[in-house]
Chain A
Amino acid sequence: MLFNSYQFIFLFLPIVWAGYFALGRLSKNASIIWLALASLLFYSASNWQFVALLSLSVTFNYLIGSLLIRAKLDPTPRSAMLATGVSTNLVLLGYFKYAGFLVANLNQMLGVQLTLNILLPVGISFYTFTQIAFLVDAYRGEVSRYDLPVYTLFVTYFPHLIAGPIIHHKDIIPQFERGGGKMVGLHLVLCGLIIFAIGLFKKTCLADGIQPYVSLAFGSEVPSFHAAWLGALAYTFQLYFDFSGYSDMAIGISLTFGVFLPLNFNSPYKAASIIDFWRCWHMTLSQFLRDYLYIPLGGNRRGRTLRYVNLMITMALGGLWHGAAWTFVAWGVLHGLYLCGNHFWNAVRPDLPSLSGRISGIAGATLTFVAVVVAWVFFRANDMVSALTILSKMAAPAHEQLSYREMLAGLFVFCYALIAWFAPNTQTIMGYDHYNRRVGEGLIRFSERPVFVYVAAALLGFGILGIQQHSEFIYFRF
């Protein structure tokens, strides 16, 4: 089921919401079980064949986690327990996501014709990472005991289940335990609805609106210089508004249940460096990779060279997490190189006075943006040959006359760039503070100026009108 569908907005969400708070008055457990079951129903609407897999995964990880939390084991069996848990998760993810990729590569290398058709369970990358984090923290002794219904809800909670944000048990489970649907927070509901409206507008109007121009670069024909750049830029903005729109919707929906989800985006295209970009793009994934991969590898604690090696490993695996294709690996490796370059520059650059610092800030932001656009070509292209063809066109300026379609694409890209670079982001508009559990304090003033509510309502209206296109979120496939 898609957030941008009539059945979700007008049927599923109101029923689940009403049931959650109605049951919450009776019993906290009842409301939690209701929400967990509703989440499984949400998942089964488009992935019924994988509900059993999801349920097995939840049960298995809960059992392993419980043993790590409760059983007084010696260090060796305890480590073995963690290794079993993590490796089982990775094997499962590897089988569903990477076995086909492996077979395709074997076919190419050995000249054989092995066939393997495996459907990818939607959301497996997200719920696998969420649970690996849980197991690792349980091993470290950083997890208190959770009941099975709460744990199940934590993993399956429908606002985040399909495409994140990747949530952390320490952040989310206490919110379920404290809230449990006992009382409707009307202020949170209002703020949640407005954030949802902004997200829906971003997805159905902005992301889907620029989508037709992506084919200028990524269509079936070899693009011209202008078409390659315009298509790559169109994809740059489509991906941002699509994924940040999805994240806004998830945050908004969750807020109506009284649960604050972590932010996933913080105006990444305004970033002045690639390090800054990764602090603002898919933030929950970056945090996961940092805490559970980069730092365990040694992080920056073992010298500059090993830091660069760790960065490259982290980013290459981060790329592979997005999809089983060499293009994603190339995307990750390229960002790894960017990050190494950025850290190296930070280590050797001279101190600059404030004026030239400002100029270098603008130069840094421009360079970062161009570098990100170039990397998106690998991310979006069907294969490496296509990616390199498009990039070769982007690198070869030509004096060609722009077609009407290219001119219009240019206008779209310009307008979207203005929004991405200069407009405040959703959390700024709404005053969303995930850590301090605050939102919409400015809205108390806005309520005296209802125009804000009307503008948000118009966004909701246009967002609903844009639903017709029924396009999936790009990040569903990861």
Chain B
Amino acid sequence: MATPLANIIRFLTAGITTVSFVAAINFIIDPLQLFWHHGVFYAYTADSRLQNAGLIRSQDYNAVLMGTSLSVHLRPSDVNRTFGVRAVKLAMSGSDSVEQRFVLDVAMARRPALVFWELDDRTFFESPAIDENKFIRPDLYRRNLKGIIGYLLDLDITRESFFIALSAIKPFKAIAHGLAAAQYLKFYGDEVDEIGTLPATTDLSAIYNAGSIRAAFATAEKYPKEIYFRYNYQTLVRNFERDFISIIRDHPETKFCVFVPPYSILQFVTIRDVSPEALQTIYDFSAYAFPRLLSLPNVTLFDFRVAQDITHDLDNYMDLLHYRPMVDQRVLSLLAGGKYRVTRAAPSDSIERLARQVATFDTATMRPHAVQPTSDAGGPGCR
């Protein structure tokens, strides 16, 4: 008969063996491709805060795309085609400037030649330090022991590994996709280019249409979101300097193509109506940020907030901010062409034009009171 001590040893040994076995599976399948790119078992997740740690390791890139949900639908292949680069997309929905700086900092170790960086003033709101952010795993990016062990000894990753392996057998692929549709699995994408993009079968006009944005506008005017009251000039400037400027300044060898995305005009009209102070802070912040960015020689800056042909066409939007993938294509071509570029000679031009557009927009007719000048001349694009 085994003694209690023998059973304790047996129990602990078996426990350690179980853990080691699971860690070995996670190491071999390696859903994030942190250790190798074996090409047999692989899948990608749209959880970009997790996936980015792997993409930075596994992708061969010389250009980086960083931003928020406004940039997650972009396809790296479109960027590659337009600019002749090998791009990796690291945009994260709802990301703040602390997250963006942290992830971009890790990606910069590969010394990309070009960085496309969406400038969204809301990312500079007060946000937690990276190690206190529960949505991201900083140690996975740092590749320290804690991060690696945490990755290998993670039951969620084990589940993903199991289904990635199973998906190599065709009939199980459908099951895995079903479980992904049920939000049980994260890793299900086949192509790195399609991470975060909308499926080809998506009925875009059902999502992006004037009806959707009008409804969003009506709700926002009736029940103003708390976010409209969080604009604080000092905070925006401090975090902008800390998280945005510092990286650009520290990497003079890299060109930074910074762009303010084409939010719908109704975004600013809403803020005009519910919190005029916030609107003034937005203008003031732009007035600070634009010359500051343009004082750095490796920055090209675009302000698409004044791209009236996009921002005033309500069929482009699903809500006040998010636009259809066709606008992504247009943004890329504008970045390449140079239209709406902010010049060092007149850094506040676009801000003044935006202020005029917002002030004269009539919500009854959903048109401007008066025809606005359409001078969009900028300069050379990002190359």
Contact = CB atoms under 8 A, between A and B. Distances in A.
A405 B185 CA distance: 11
B337 interface: no
Contacts of B7: 190, 443, 447, 450, 453
B150 interface: yes
B155 A465 contact: yes
A407 interface: yes
Q: Which of A190, A462, A469 has the most CB of B within 10 A?
A: A190
A190 B155 contact: no
Contacts of B3: 186
B11 A194 contact: yes
Interface residues of B, number: 31
Contact of A465 (B2, B5, B158, B183): B158
Interface in B1-54: 1-8, 10-19, 22
A462 B76 CA distance: 38
A368 to B, nearest CB: 31
Given A186-B8, A457-B15, A447 B1 contact: yes
A71 interface: no
Contacts, number: 92
B153 interface: yes
B178 A404 contact: yes
A290 interface: no
A454 B184 CA distance: 29
B156 interface: yes
A104 B15 CA distance: 49
Contacts of A460: 11, 15, 18
Nearest to B137: A468
Given A190-B8, A408-B182, A461 B19 contact: yes
B181 interface: yes
B45 to A, nearest CB: 15
Contacts of B215: none
A197 B358 CA distance: 62
A205 B158 CA distance: 12
A187 interface: yes
Contacts of A454: 10, 14
A339 B8 CA distance: 45
Contacts of B181: 404-405
Given A186-B4, A404-B181, A450-B2, A457 B12 contact: yes
Contacts of B155: 204-205, 462, 465-466, 468-469
Contact of B18 (A403, A443, A453, A457): A457
A348 interface: no
Given A190-B7, A404-B178, A461 B2 contact: no
B8 A193 contact: yes
B154 interface: yes
A458 interface: yes
B10 A448 contact: no
B153 A465 contact: yes
B179 interface: yes
A225 B321 CA distance: 32
Contacts of A189: 4, 8
A279 B10 CA distance: 37
A454 B133 CA distance: 37
Interface in A193-214: 193-194, 197, 204-205, 212
A448 B178 CA distance: 44
Contacts of A404: 178, 181-183
Given A186-B5, A447-B1, A460-B11, A468 B18 contact: no
A461 B11 contact: no
Interface in A421-466: 443-444, 447-448, 450, 453-454, 456-458, 460-462, 464-466
B1 A444 contact: yes
A458 B14 contact: yes
Contact of B22 (A194, A204, A465, A469): A465
Given A447-B7, A462-B155, A466-B155, A405 B182 contact: yes
B12 A187 contact: no
Contacts of A403: 182
A190 B153 contact: no
A448 B153 contact: no
A50 B286 CA distance: 46
A465 B14 contact: no
A335 B219 CA distance: 39
A453 B11 contact: yes
A470 to B, nearest CB: 8
Q: Which of A443, A454, A467 has the most CB of B within 10 A?
A: A454
Given A186-B3, A450-B10, A465 B179 contact: no
Nearest to A204: B155
Contacts of B158: 465
Nearest to B3: A186
B57 to A, nearest CB: 20
Contacts of A465: 19, 22, 153-155, 158
B220 to A, nearest CB: 16
Contacts of B16: 461
A405 B184 CA distance: 8
A447 B179 CA distance: 40
B19 A464 contact: yes
Contact of A453 (B1, B14, B154, B183): B14
A204 B8 CA distance: 22
Interface in A379-430: 403-405, 407-408
A17 B15 CA distance: 19
Nearest to A407: B182
Contacts of A190: 4, 7-8, 11
B10 A469 contact: no
B215 to A, nearest CB: 15
Contact of B150 (A186, A457, A461, A468): A468
Contact of A448 (B2, B8, B154): B2
Contacts of B22: 461-462, 465
A467 B157 CA distance: 12
Given A190-B8, A460-B15, A469 B156 contact: yes
16 contacts: A189-B8, A190-B7, A190-B11, A404-B181, A407-B182, A447-B7, A448-B1, A448-B2, A454-B14, A457-B11, A457-B12, A461-B16, A461-B17, A464-B153, A465-B19, A465-B154
Given A186-B5, A448-B1, 18 more contacts: A187-B4, A212-B183, A404-B181, A405-B184, A408-B182, A408-B184, A450-B2, A454-B10, A456-B11, A457-B14, A458-B18, A461-B16, A461-B19, A461-B22, A462-B18, A462-B22, A462-B155, A465-B154
Query: What 3 pairs between A and B have smallest CB-CB spacing?
Result: A461-B18, A457-B14, A186-B4
